[in-house]
Chain A
Amino acid sequence: MKQEKFEPKILAFCCHYCAYSSADLAGSMRIQYPPNVRIIRTPCTGRLETEYFMKALENGADGVLIAGCLEGGCHFVEGNLCAKRRVNYIREMLEEIGIEKERLRMVNVSAAMGRPLAENITDMVETVRKLGPNPIRQNIASK
């Protein structure tokens, strides 16, 4: 049987004040980035609870990207720093579970950084492509 080419599904939580706007900007600038990413706008990355990352991966996302403001540039002062710590906590837990921690990543961009955001997304997609499908999803499919 012909093996279908693996296309990662990436969930991107984008902060309204930076990454979401920079994704908009990337669109206006006609910058291409892979269509594998599903963007969810959040009021601030500090709003993201740790369980969101867990549930996303549990439900089959191949990767989860958290895109917040540059450090020091958070609209709510330190929301992105809170998010960074939470992401690191869950990355450690993913290792305990046996899932590659690279599937969860936080990046920092400003609203003017359309191109860097696109590069970050491309890099995340390529990282996850190399890792292969989320092992949880594989396991679901094999049953």
Chain B
Amino acid sequence: MIVAQRKNIPDLLEIVKSHKKLLVLGCGTCVTVCLAGGQREVSIIASALRMSAKLKGLPLEVEELTIERQCDNVFLEQAADAITRNDAVLSLGCGAGVQALAERYTNKPVYAGLDTTFIGILEERGVWTEKCAACGVCVLHEYGGICPITRCAKHMLNGPCSGSSEDRCEVNPERQCAWQLIYKRLKDIGQLDRLKKIKPPKNWNRSQSGGYRTIIREDHRV
């Protein structure tokens, strides 16, 4: 899922202070699961903004709403009335949600209330870790399901780098060496021979270097 974290309250107030009526719009998908932009966080951030604005003497009215998914036009309709009756929208969705809103409501200022951070998983309660860099060409099959691009600090495709100590990364000793994990995993599944093959440089054309990426599925087009 997409993992995000909230911006702090003074920054948010700075972003929205020129408006009198603000809609704080949450998203019920990824950012709800990572506890950054769901119904509860909308409630907390709206309260915080109201209090903060009152203390600074700003006349800010804040409405709260959470829809199922912000990155989908079908769901965005549920917010249409609320968006219309407010001066601006503070989206607690990920970057995709914010832009979907901005594209659809062309005359309405839409602001990001979160910092969208990475694609990752919940490691343990309250801890999220990045697992995927969305590089465009997945190589996980080569590395026992452990991504060297995301999890190795040097993004090495032919590792390890020899800088690691025990199973720790030399860049950050608090992190596990991804290549240690790859070796252990390949050993466990009996695929160590994969490491004998030198991997050629990765094709990064399908990554972010050429601007935004699109996927077109002719079989689904109308």
Report A's interface with B, CB cutoff 8 A: 49-51, 54-55, 57-58, 90, 93, 96-99, 135-136, 139-140
| Contacts A58-B50, A136-B54, A139-B54 given; does A97 touch B44 at CB 8 Å | no
In the assembled complex, B209 has its CB within 8 A of some CB on chain A: no
Judge if B48 is at the interface, Cβ distance under 8 Å: yes
CB closest chain-A residue, reference B8: A96
Q: Decide if B48 touches A93 in the complex (CB within 8 Å).
A: yes
Other contacts beyond A58-B50, A97-B52: 6, CB < 8 A:
A54-B51, A58-B47, A96-B10, A96-B48, A98-B55, A139-B55
| Contact status A135-B55, CB under 8 Å | yes
Residues of B within 8 A of A97 (CB): 9, 48, 51-52, 55
**Are A93 and B9 in contact, CB atoms less than 8 angstroms apart?**
yes
Q: Interface 1/0s, chain B 147-169, versus A by CB < 8 A? A: 00000000000000000000000
A selection of 23 A-B contacts at a CB cut-off of 8 Å is: A49-B40, A50-B40, A50-B44, A51-B43, A54-B44, A54-B48, A54-B51, A57-B51, A58-B47, A58-B51, A96-B8, A96-B48, A97-B9, A97-B48, A97-B52, A98-B52, A98-B55, A99-B55, A135-B55, A136-B54, A139-B54, A139-B55, A140-B54
Name A's interface SS. Answer: helix
B44 touches A51 (CB 8 A): yes
Those of B44-64 within 8 Å (CB) of chain A: 44, 47-48, 50-52, 54-57
Shortest C-beta distance, A19 to chain B (Å), equals 24
Q: How far is the CA of A58 from the CA of B51 in the complex (A)?
A: 6
A139 with B44: in contact, given A57-B51, A97-B51, A98-B52 (CB under 8 Å)?
no
CB distance from A99 to the nearest CB of B (A): 7
User: Which of B10, B47, B55 is the most central at the interface, judged by chain A CB atoms within 10 Å of its CB?
Assistant: B47
Q: Sorted from nearest, which 9 A-B pairs have the closest CB atoms?
A: A54-B47, A96-B9, A51-B43, A97-B52, A139-B54, A58-B47, A98-B55, A97-B51, A51-B44
Most buried by B among A58, A90, A97: A97
**Closest CB in chain B relative to A90 CB, distance in Å:** 8
Inter-chain CA distance A97–B50, complex, in Å, is 9
Among residues 3 to 55 in chain B, which have CB atoms less than 8 Å away from a CB atom of chain A?
A: 8-10, 40, 43-44, 47-48, 50-52, 54-55
